[in-house]
Amino acid sequence: MSVLEPATARTVRTRIQWHLTGSVRRATPRGVHNLTARGAKPLTTRPLFRYACDVDAEPLHRYTKGGYHPTHLGDQLKHGRYRVLHKLGWGGHSTVWAARDEEKGRYVAVKISVSEWQSEQANRQLQVMRTIATSSLQNAGAASVMKVLDHFELDGPNGTHECLVLELLGPSVSDIVDVRFVGDRLPAALAKKVARQTLLGLDYLHQHGIGHGVFTLSLSDSSGEDELSRILGRPELGPVRRVNGEPTEPGSIKIVDYGESFFDTEPPVTLHTPLAVRAPEVVFEDNFDHRVDLWSMGCLLFELFAGQTPFDVLMLTPGILTGQMEDFATDKLPKRWVERANRLKEESIDFVQAGREEEGAVSTHTLQQWLEEIYFDQGKSAELSLEDVRKLAELVSKMLYFEPSSRATASALLKDTWLS
């Protein structure tokens, strides 16, 4: 689930889509480039670049020493084990490809990093994924986290590239909401299933002392579907049923993309979590651990049912967020953060005052009142009762504590029968 890519990412949906929150921007079957002069169009506006392409894909000038590996459909990777079938997406540090594992007879996603990306973050991500892949812990949440299936190095004209072989997953939760449902919200029963499976995955990571770090749900608009349909043809749709007449099993949710993940024993200096769901200890530049995920999970739980995060997204600054967190957090701002919080708010004061004058008033909603107002907004379907929404607000409040030690753990929330 994507988290999600930060909320500005746009994704082309295919019949099978790989989802790497924070790492993949846009997948397109035409994003495979022949890096020769033959057929290349001259670029007049940026003469420093030798090649151009009308497809929204990774920048071609980065196909150089230290950059991307030139990958082609049909390429055989790791001595012929993985056959490249389709391009799924790209990011600043990698391209991602659908491939056939000829040895295991399965479809996988192969993430090929740029050769220069040998950073501490990359090593930490690999160690986290290896820990998950080799864990013997018996926990129901193991099925709710994406696992690395293989790892190898690929030598090419631009250097040596780290390659991760990952499970090939279906569409992100945000894509499902965008395509299938109105109002940027899931049906209540489905939202409960997504929340529960996500909590299971978080509990599994936290049992290993791992924080995910960029745990969020993107509900950004998607585009490019018409172009994809023109190339591949619009897929036929029809209901799926079991031949024995029994009901079909519900789809499952997996937590993906460990680019910002970390061990509690070796946390990074900071995290790049989207601001609207960033834990206060990160905002205030304090020490942190895996409990940053609990704050983000509270925001995600709110968003799954309401269709938006509890905090503003548009034009949000750390100072504005600080004020909103003080409005909605279950406890008071700890004294150790007061000075930093005041400084952040002062830096945003002109913008805040302008916004208040335009709106005419300062919001005095509690978290529960805000959730009720959004959920029962006119024109949107409301499957939950008022009692249910208040229960939801109670669960969210258990995670939105300033003090990390006060936040309800994933395992504690899973005991609540409301999510069953």
The answer for residues whose C-beta is within 8 angstroms of residue 267's C-beta and 6 or more apart is: 211, 287, 288, 289
The answer for residues whose C-beta is within 8 angstroms of residue 34's C-beta and 6 or more apart is: 40
E strand or H helix at 400, and its extent?
none
> Residue 98 corresponds to which amino acid?
A
Token output for 253: 């949710």
Distances from the Cα of 37 to the Cα of 40, 49, 50, 132, angstroms: 5, 12, 8, 44
> Pairing relation of β-strands 106-113 and 159-167?
antiparallel
The answer for residues whose C-beta is within 8 angstroms of residue 92's C-beta and 6 or more apart is: none
Token output for 137: 């812990």
DSSP secondary structure string for all residues of 7-74: TT------SS----TTT-----TT-----SSTTPPP-SS-TT-S---SS--S-GGG-STTS-----TT
Residue 276 near residue 283 (C-beta atoms within 8 A): no
Indicate the Cα dihedral angle 346, 350, 353, 358, nearest 10°: -150
Residue 65 assigned ligand-binding role? no
Distances from the Cα of 172 to the Cα of 22, 163, 312, angstroms: 12, 22, 22
E strand or H helix at 164, and its extent?
strand 159-167
Closest Cα to residue 280, out of 301, 255, 252, 311? 311
Closest Cα to residue 152, out of 102, 112, 105, 93? 112
DSSP secondary structure string for all residues of 192-214: HHHHHHHHHHHHHHHHTTEE-S-
The answer for residues whose C-beta is within 8 angstroms of residue 110's C-beta and 6 or more apart is: 77, 82, 84, 96, 97, 98, 99, 163, 164, 165, 166
Residue stretches of the annotated binding site for ATP: 111
Residue stretches of the annotated binding site: 111
